[in-house]
Amino acid sequence: MVKYLAVAAIMSIFVLTGCYKANENLNGKMPVKKELHTMTAQDLFSMERISEMNISPNGKWVVYAITTPNPAENKMYRDLWAVSVDGKFTMQITSDNYSEYNPIWSPDSRKIAYISTKDGVPQVFIKEFPNGKAKQLTDIPAGVSNILWSPDGKYISFTSEVKMNQSVADKYPDQPLANVKIYTSLPVRHWDEWTDESYSHIFIIPAKGGEPMDLMPQERFDTPLKPFGGVEEINWSPDGRYLAYTCKKVEDNVTSTNSDIYVVDMKNLCPEISGKECDDCENDDSCCEEVEKTEIKEMSSMTKEMSSKKIEKTPVTEQKSCCEEPVVTEIKSCCEVEEEEDLCEQGKCPKVLNISEGMPGYDRAPKFSPDGKWISFISLERPGFESDKSRIMLYNRNTKEIIEVTANLDQWNDEPVWSPDSKKIYTVSTDSGVYSIFAFDIETKLYERISKEKWNYGHGLGITPDGNTLIFGKMNMNNPLEIYKMDLATGKETQLTHLNTEKLKYIKPVTFEEKWFTANDGAKIHSWVTYPPDFDPNKKYPVIILLQGGPQSMLSQNYHYRWNSALFASMGYIYVSANRRGVPGFGQAWNDAISKDWGGKAMDDYLAVTDQFVQEPYVKTDGVAAIGASAGGYAAFWLAGHHQGRYKAFVSHCGVFDVLSKMGSTEELFFPYWEFGGPYWIKENRDNIEKNSPINFVQNWDTPILISTGERDFRVPYTQSLEAFTAAQQKGIPSELIYFPNETHFIAHAQEYFIWFNEVENWLNKYCLK
């Protein structure tokens, strides 16, 4: 599942010696209802939501982004904030009517670079912290993403789209009004967009200003990995000489998960990185001329790869002296810049090393150790399986040996963070229904759980430079994500932000508990059960069984912004979230159990949980519904043909109905090939596909079903939902189709979500409250 950031309100605060006093934020766009009430969808969308936490190198501040919804415009905006690590002060860094995000600190903690959509296209801006004026660094028509500051402060890396292939307009310039796409290879589309002629490349640019340099010249590959990869897939070495990145350099990337970790040596690209400092050539004209020639040739190489359509204008600089800042003298079209011979022919081609060569699964998220001796990265062992165990691997830069530091923990691991002494790695790991922080000793491979509570931890894990304090996000079903710190010596946690305290004060909390159910084969099924506010065990309550998506995705203490357990429980329902077979957090064998058996034991687990829970005296046995999205939508379609009267209503959002047709219209083919055996033209695979396809059991459908879908969902195309709705209508089953022309696999806009939730609530009440 993709993280969906939405939310909150314009904040006004009071200045105190250049800072804003903590916990004084007020809500503007969506006013707080200041009387005790049960949660509403409007409450959910009013919550301020934190992302992109980043600790300053001096360990004193955490910068982060807050996303604010504007329901009137049906848009989201992000601003940047900072909170002091001692928790005393909070300050707003940006406050514009556009979005700023991806904040990064300069190595001296005196500046913050970030991306802004001020002029409609994302560009890099830099401002002095805390109150300096923002200065624009880039002017790339294609826009920029994923920025990082080099450890020496001299460069900023970013990614941008580079046109590499001929477009239809290039091929047919005499047909300027034609809207046509022509493909000769896959993928033709990915997640929510049709693919074009461009690829995402890594660039570096002097932090003082100058020309960007493409570190992936002539490569028809993307960094970071699309569609969900981000800045975590790029990392600078401590000395600033090397840059590690994730890339899938394979011919058939729709059937392969073989991404690798590449390390580029920039010594022969950048004079300063090569050891020739400005101070050394302050009075050396030949040195300065060398710098000037290098920059112009690098620019010329870049223009070969970028089209005038994607990047129509590129700043051309004039270098007066090695120590003077480059000055933009004019803007020229890429096509107007004289082409020089290729950089690689000059001996200035980036030297690139593949450190994970021979590891055929997903490898991603490289991170140099502070002492520079190691590179950690996340690796999935089995090729083609996107839900294999996430292992933390260590690459020894001296011996070239690769070891797994997480071998003793049979869980998924993410967000690896090095301790400053390079002796430990902290991770966020799946942990029996929650996400916990673990610490691994890189020498002994022993680990310990650092977090103590049954909450979700992570979402921006970091450590202060002295190694004494962890910074992280933390949430549970009643509390949206806030920033916390932990004293590693004592384990004491302190909440640093309180963005939603005022709003939560007026919302009745739900209660929840862990329950274990018994599967038909005796296996134990972990579940979270959420009860309505003011729950009375002497009353009868309808029940919602949540059908998890993924399918390999653990149900946890997540404050979800679509399938929010507190919101559905506040409707007056008991909300049961069962971690059936096929989810992480309970060992890899449990996670693997759904593959090639979607309609088997995982679906039986839902039926077993339902049968046992309805025995509770407070359950309205004729008021049970099953709802879910994606693989959960598949489960709704599947159970509709197998439930034998257990459920009174179903809800399926973007669900898989016909596995065969979905395989022919989705984009990442490695997923269905792994999950259902392989290409459908092989008989054994075809038999398994038909065995596990809900369309083949429509003859058993007899229960009301609400179906919703987004047209821009290319993972599970909207035609899946249309087929299912057509079947229900033809069978005379009460059914409703909600179609969102502008939504993807997720409902990301406030007004669409309000309509969807209202329709779902009315649907469930109609059939479960009779």
Among 441, 473, 496, the domain boundary falls at 496
Are 437 and 519 found together in one domain? no
Question: What is the pLDDT averaged over residues 175-201?
Answer: 97
CA distance 16 to 11: 16
Domain edge (last residue) among 464, 496, 528: 496
**Which residue in 410, 402, 394, 475 sits closest to 442, CA to CA?**
394
Is 261 a member of any domain?
Answer: no
**Pairwise CA distance, residues 515 & 578, whole Å:** 9
pLDDT band at 141 (very low <50, low <70, confident <90, very high): very high
In a domain, 599, yes or no: yes
Distance CA 413, CA 378 (A): 8
Query: Does residue 393 lie within any of the structural domains?
Result: yes
pLDDT at 30: 63
pLDDT for residue 333 is more than 90: no
At residue 291, does pLDDT exceed 60? no
Give CA–CA dist 531/740, Å, rounded.
31
The whole-angstrom separation of Cα 254 and Cα 384 is 10
- DSSP 8-state secondary structure symbol assigned to residue 521: T
Q: How far apart are CA 575 and CA 513, in angstroms?
A: 11
pLDDT grade, residue 2 (50/70/90)? very low
Nearest to residue 631, comparing CAs of 365, 414, 386? 386
Q: What percent of the chain has pLDDT over 70?
A: 85
Q: What is the DSSP string of 538-604?
A: TS-EEEEEEE--SSS----S---SSS-HHHHHTTT-EEEEE--SS-SSS-HHHHHTTTT-TTTHHHH
Q: Tell me whether residue 244 is in a domain.
A: no
Q: CB of 665 within 8 A of CB of 680?
A: no
Instruction: Kindly report which listed range (349-353, 492-496, 746-750) carries the lowest average pLDDT score.
Output: 349-353
Q: Are strands 19-21 and 479-487 parallel, antiparallel or unpaired?
A: unpaired
- Region 464-490: mean pLDDT is 99
The answer to whether the beta carbons of residues 336 and 322 sit under 8 Å apart is: no
Note whether residue 293 is domain-resident.
Answer: no
Predicted confidence at residue 546, as pLDDT, reads 99
Number of compact structural domains in the chain = 2
DSSP collapsed to 3 states, 30-82: CCCCCCCECCCHHHHHHCCEEEEEEECCCCCEEEEEEEEEECCCCEEEEEEEE
Q: Give the Cα separation of 245 and 231 in Å (integer).
A: 9
- pLDDT at residue 483, rounded to an integer: 99
What single-letter amino acid sits at 157?
A: S
Same domain, 467 and 533: no
Residues 673 and 746 in one domain: yes
Are both 491 and 390 inside the same structural domain?
yes
What's the pLDDT score for residue 319? Answer: 32
pLDDT of residue 37: 98
Strands (E), 432-570: 434-441, 447-449, 456-463, 469-476, 479-487, 493-495, 511-518, 524-531, 541-547
Q: Are residues 411 and 526 in the same domain?
A: no
Region of poorest pLDDT, from 66-75, 558-567, 694-703: 66-75
Q: Is residue 260 part of a domain?
A: no
CATH of the domain at 518: 3.40.50.1820
Domain termination residue (choose one: 496, 528, 554)? 496
Residue of higher predicted confidence among 46 and 659: 659
Q: Given a cut of 80, is residue 293 above it in pLDDT? A: no
Residue 603 Cα to chain centre, angstroms: 28
* 3-class SS of residue 183: coil
SS3 content of the chain, % helix, strand, coil (to 5): 20, 30, 50
113 shares its domain with 200 = yes
Among candidate residues 147, 112, 153, the one with its CA nearest the CA of residue 132: 112
695 has pLDDT over 80: yes
Give the CA dihedral 557, 561, 565, 566, nearest 10 degrees. 100
Is pLDDT above 60 for 511? yes
Mark whether 491 and 532 lie in a shared domain: no
Query: Are residues 383 and 489 located together in one domain of the fold?
Result: yes
Identify whether residues 456 and 528 lie together within a single domain.
Answer: no
Dig out the tokens for 349 from the structure.
């081609």
User: Residue 491: how many CB atoms within 10 A of its CB?
Assistant: 10
When the pLDDT of each residue in the chain is averaged and rounded to a whole number, the result is 88
CA 325, CA 310: separation in Å to the nearest integer? 27
What kind and span of H or E run contains 651? strand 649-653
Say whether both 520 and 445 belong to one domain. no
> How does residue 659 score in pLDDT terms, banded at 50, 70 and 90?
very high
| Residue 288 domain flag | no
Same domain, 466 and 551: no
pLDDT band at 378 (very low <50, low <70, confident <90, very high): very high
Q: Residue 572 — left, alpha, or beta (φ > 0 → left; ψ -120 to 50 → alpha)?
A: left
- β pairing state of 649-653 and 735-740: unpaired
Q: What angle do CA 607, 610, 615 make, to 5 degrees?
A: 135
The DSSP output letter for 326 is P
End-to-end CA distance of the chain: 34
102: tokens are 């991806």
Q: Work out the pLDDT band at 28, boundaries 50, 70, 90.
A: very low
Same domain, 444 and 384: yes
Q: Which of 331-335, 340-344, 482-486, 636-640 has the lowest mean pLDDT?
A: 331-335
CA angle at residue 605 from 599 to 610, to 5 degrees? 120
Question: For 26-30, 219-223, 327-331, 569-573, which range has the lowest pLDDT when averaged over its residues?
Answer: 327-331
Residue with tokens 């001929």: 166
* Residue 315 is assigned to a structural domain of this protein: no
d(CA 23, CA 34): 17
Task: Look at the block and give the residue holding tokens 């902290």.
Answer: 426
Task: With a cut of 80, say whether residue 730 has pLDDT above it.
Answer: yes
- Reference 451, options 421, 420, 487, 482; nearest CA is 487
Residue 373 belongs to domain with CATH number: 2.120.10.30
Query: Per-residue pLDDT tens for 63-74?
Result: 999 998 888 899
Q: If you average pLDDT over residues 692-713, what whole number do you get?
A: 99
Lowest model confidence (mean pLDDT) among 23-27, 360-364, 432-436, 625-629: 23-27
601-613 and 631-640 are packed helices; what angle lies between their axes, rounded to 10 degrees?
Answer: 70
CA distance 121 to 176: 24
What 8-state DSSP symbol labels residue 691?
Answer: H
User: Range of 635's domain?
Assistant: 510-768
